[in-house]
Each structure stands twice: as C-alpha cells, then as structure tokens.
Amino acid sequence: MIRIFLCLSFALILGVPSWALTVDEAVKQAEAHNLTLATEDLKVAQKADEKNFSVNRLYPTVSVSSTILRLNQLNLNQWEKFWPLIQNGHQSDFSAISSAASIEDNHWLLSLGVKTQWVLNLAVFRGITQTLIDYQNATINHDAAASRLDRDVRKAFYGLLFLHQATGVFESQLKVAEDRYRLAKLNFDAGLGSEISSLQAQVGFENRKPMLADQRVSEDNAQSGFRLLLNVPDDSPLDLQGGLEVAPEVRKVLASVDVDTLVKRYVEGRWDVGIAQGTAKSLENIAKLQADSLWPSLVFGWTADPSVSAPFKSDTWNNSANSKYNWAQSSGAFSMTLAWQLDGFVPGSTTGIEIKGRERQAEQARIGAEQTRRAGENEIRSLVGRMKKSAVSLDGLALSLELAQRSAKLTEAGYQAGTQSFNEAQDADQQLQQARLQFLSEELSLQSTLADLDYALAADRKEWLHG
C-alpha cells in the first residue's frame, strides 16, 4: 500500500503520465481508503468495545453530590441534642458550642451525598447477550461491505478496460476511414477515381469522428467514477494493467461448474442471508429481553448524607468541642428491595402488547431470512447460467472475430486493387468493428459475472471453482 502511494505521489509531482495499477492493487487501495468501509470500521470498533465491556452491566451505579444551603429560619429543635449534656453537668461544652458559632453561621449547612445501587434481574444477562449479537451483526455487515467493495472495484476496473479497448477499436476504424478517404481523394485529384467515391469516403470518415468523441467522453466519466471509488484525487493519472481475457482452459472449467453443488455449499453463507439471520436473532433476543423485564428485580442500595453546620466557621473544624457533633447522619441506610412490576401480566396491557409485537417482528425477520435465502439461491443459479453462456460464447465469438479480420483484410486489399467497391469495404469494416466489440463485451460480461458470483457465494474464486 505504501508503494501505491509513493507511485501516485511521484506521478503527481514529477508529471509522470500514468499510474500503473493492477486489479488487485485497486482493490487494496479502495479497502484502505474507501469512506463507506471506513464507516463500517468505526461501527465494528464501537460494537467491539460494547462486547468487551459487556460485563459492566453487572456493576453497581455510584453517584456522589455536594450541597451548600442557607436555612431561611433556624430550627431550634436542632439544639435538643445538647440538653443531655446540660443535664449531666456539661454546660461548659454547650457554652463552647454556643460561643463558637453565631446564629448567622448556623444558617449555613454543608451536605454531602453518596448513593450506590446494584440491580440484578434476568434482563441484565439478556442485555449482555444482546451486545454479543450486535457485535456479530456488525462484523457481518463490515465483511459484506468489504466484499461488495471488492466486487464493485473489479467490475469498474474491467469496465474501464473494456471502454479503453473499445476506444482503441473506434480509433483504428477512424484511421482506416481516414486512409481510405485520402486515397480516394488522391485518385480523384489524379483523375483515376470518381468524385462520388471521394465523397463517400469523406462521409464515412467524418461520421466516425463523433462516435470516437462520445466513446472518449464515456471513458473519461468512467475513470472519474473509478477514482471516486478508490478515494483518490480526480486528476490522478491511471494506467490500468491487465486484460479482459479469460484463459480458454479456465473457461472450460467454468462451463462445467455444477450449480446444484454451489447452491448446497454456499447459499447459507451468503452475506445477505447472514445479515437477515442476524437481524432475526437480534429481534428475537430483544423480545426475550423485554419479557425478562417483567420478572422480579433484586435491588441492593446504600446511601449516606453526612452534613456539617456552620461550614464557614473555623471553630467548626478546629474546635473539638464542635467538630465531634459534625457529620451527623440522619437518613443514610443499606437497603435490599425486591421489585416486581405486575401490570405486564394483565391481559391487553401496554407492555404485553409491546412484547407480542416484538415477537411478531422477530418472526417476520425469520421469514424474511428464508425469503432472502431462496432469492440468493435463484441469484446463484442465474449467475452460473450467465457465466456458462459467456464461457461457451467466447469460443464462437473468437472464431467470428478471426473471420471478420480476414474478411476485412481481403476486402481492403481488393479495394486498393480496384476489385472491391467502397460499400463492400465499408461493410467489412463495420462487421470487423462489430465483431471486436461483441467479443470485448462478452469478455466484460464474463469478468463481471465472475465478480458477482464471488460476492453471491461469499467465497474466494479458487475455493468455489476448484474446491
């Protein structure tokens, strides 16, 4: 990947006319920098954190607070705790307390609060299971996106090769038309040919120019889309390395593939089937989680609320006669609570209807997963049929191209010698161009079908082809 970036950087800085790129390098470039895949990476990272720390659901909640308040009116009953001291002959202590804090100071109160709670019920454990399911689904979605990106890059790569080679066909035919026009004009100027032959050749030459221009525009637009797929600058020069051809021996193997074996081995592992099954599993667990919430919950709690009177008075903290009465605890406690929400068991309750709705959604998702599996089976059969058709058709199209090339060559020689008419030569050119484009189009169809089949089977080509 570093090599790719270095090549691209030097190409832009030094003005190198092209950036050599194979189909596998294009896939790697897209996987490393495609924005859609980067989004899926973030989703997986988030779900991975939730999975790794899913046991945190069992941890208690802890909260602390601190409050400073000023009483509008003192409660004289707060001094009742000192009366036993007075009755027992400890008036000196009470005097110290009284002198240590003025009436205004005792209007102020500093309060600290600590609260912890631990809830234990079946829904907590079901929630942990849900985090595992969510992580698995995120992983499947990520892998599916990566495989889909691989397919799209390969199809776009071979599509560009097709357009480039088709442009070459139009250019070569334009060159032939130009040469023929020049020859016809020379013969007319020399009095060896008719004006109509010269005009026909010129019309044929001029008519091919806009066809080539349209082809080049199509190729440029396709290159812009390809750069966007790779997430590289739009002005990045490209030089695609490779070809559309599939070796004859490989086409022979493709033509003999058993579709029933492929369906049996790979239909359950398809990306869309895995995603649909994961959705159904998630909805089913959510329905169970909501049902588990109806059962009792055991809640452990502990609270503390120590407080200090006259916190801004130094004697409150320094005078032992005062400080020993601080941090009074009035309502802190440890608690164990068994809570049970019973309204969900009432027929027709809101909670009961929601649970039933969740269960129906899960059942719908399971049915959808089965429909997705059947649709996937049909897609595999359709793609294999197209693949076999292309693999067989290429042999016939290769023969037709060879014959068209021979016919065009002989017709051109006859035209040069004057034994063939202009129309015959032009018909031979058109047949050759059509044969070339048909052959290239069938090669592109085979490459695209193979990329689609790799994605449809969610398997490497070597595995499903030779496994």
Angstrom distance (rounded) from CA 192 to CA 112: 114
Angstrom distance (rounded) from CA 309 to CA 326: 7
Considering the domain architecture, whether residues 232 and 352 belong to the same structural domain is answered as yes
Residue 69's pLDDT band (boundaries 50, 70, 90)? confident
The residue among 142, 139, 123, 127 whose CA lies nearest residue 53 is 127
**Bigger pLDDT: 415 vs 8:** 415
Considering the domain architecture, whether residues 142 and 216 belong to the same structural domain is answered as yes
Considering the domain architecture, whether residues 284 and 303 belong to the same structural domain is answered as no
Please report, rounded to a whole number, the percentage of residues in the chain having pLDDT higher than 70: 86
Angstrom distance (rounded) from CA 30 to CA 384: 27
Angstrom distance (rounded) from CA 405 to CA 44: 55
Considering the domain architecture, whether residues 239 and 139 belong to the same structural domain is answered as yes
Residue 92's pLDDT band (boundaries 50, 70, 90)? very low
pLDDT at position 1 over 50: no
- With beta carbons less than 8 A apart as the criterion, state whether 250 and 394 touch: no
pLDDT for the residue 5: 39
Domain boundary among 314, 339, 364: 339
162 within some domain: yes
Q: Could you give the number of structural domains in the chain?
A: 2
- With beta carbons less than 8 A apart as the criterion, state whether 386 and 445 touch: yes
- With beta carbons less than 8 A apart as the criterion, state whether 212 and 171 touch: yes
pLDDT at position 432 over 80: yes
pLDDT digits 0-9 by tens, 19-32:
678 999 999 989 98
- The mean pLDDT value of the chain amounts to 84
Considering the domain architecture, whether residues 325 and 290 belong to the same structural domain is answered as no
In SS3 terms, 382-446 reads as HHHHHHHHHHHHHHHHHHHHHHHHHHHHHHHHHHHHCCCCHHHHHHHHHHHHHHHHHHHHHHHHH
pLDDT for the residue 104: 65
**Bigger pLDDT: 279 vs 233:** 279
Return all residues near 129 (Cβ < 8 A) that are at least 6 apart: 285
45 within some domain: no
Angstrom distance (rounded) from CA 397 to CA 400: 5
Angstrom distance (rounded) from CA 118 to CA 295: 16
9 within some domain: yes
- With beta carbons less than 8 A apart as the criterion, state whether 147 and 451 touch: no
pLDDT for the residue 63: 92
The residue among 79, 62, 77 whose CA lies nearest residue 117 is 62
pLDDT for the residue 17: 43
Query: Looking at residue 327, what DSSP letter applies?
Result: S
Residue 326's pLDDT band (boundaries 50, 70, 90)? low
pLDDT digits 0-9 by tens, 208-217:
899 999 999 9
What's the pTM?
0.77
313 within some domain: yes
Considering the domain architecture, whether residues 351 and 327 belong to the same structural domain is answered as no
CATH of residue 178's domain is 1.20.1600.10
40 within some domain: no
pLDDT at position 122 over 80: yes
pLDDT at position 146 over 70: yes
pLDDT at position 109 over 90: no
pLDDT digits 0-9 by tens, 153-193:
999 999 999 999 999 999 988 888 888 788 878 878 877 77
Considering the domain architecture, whether residues 267 and 311 belong to the same structural domain is answered as no
Angstrom distance (rounded) from CA 153 to CA 145: 12
Considering the domain architecture, whether residues 162 and 286 belong to the same structural domain is answered as yes
236 within some domain: yes
Domain coverage including residue 325: 61-120+297-339
Angstrom distance (rounded) from CA 5 to CA 29: 9
pLDDT digits 0-9 by tens, 274-312:
999 999 999 999 999 988 888 898 999 988 888 887 778
Considering the domain architecture, whether residues 172 and 231 belong to the same structural domain is answered as yes
Angstrom distance (rounded) from CA 353 to CA 117: 30
Considering the domain architecture, whether residues 247 and 307 belong to the same structural domain is answered as no
pLDDT at position 18 over 70: no
91 within some domain: yes
**Bigger pLDDT: 238 vs 440:** 440
pLDDT for the residue 102: 55
255 within some domain: yes
Considering the domain architecture, whether residues 418 and 284 belong to the same structural domain is answered as yes
Considering the domain architecture, whether residues 168 and 140 belong to the same structural domain is answered as yes
pLDDT for the residue 327: 64
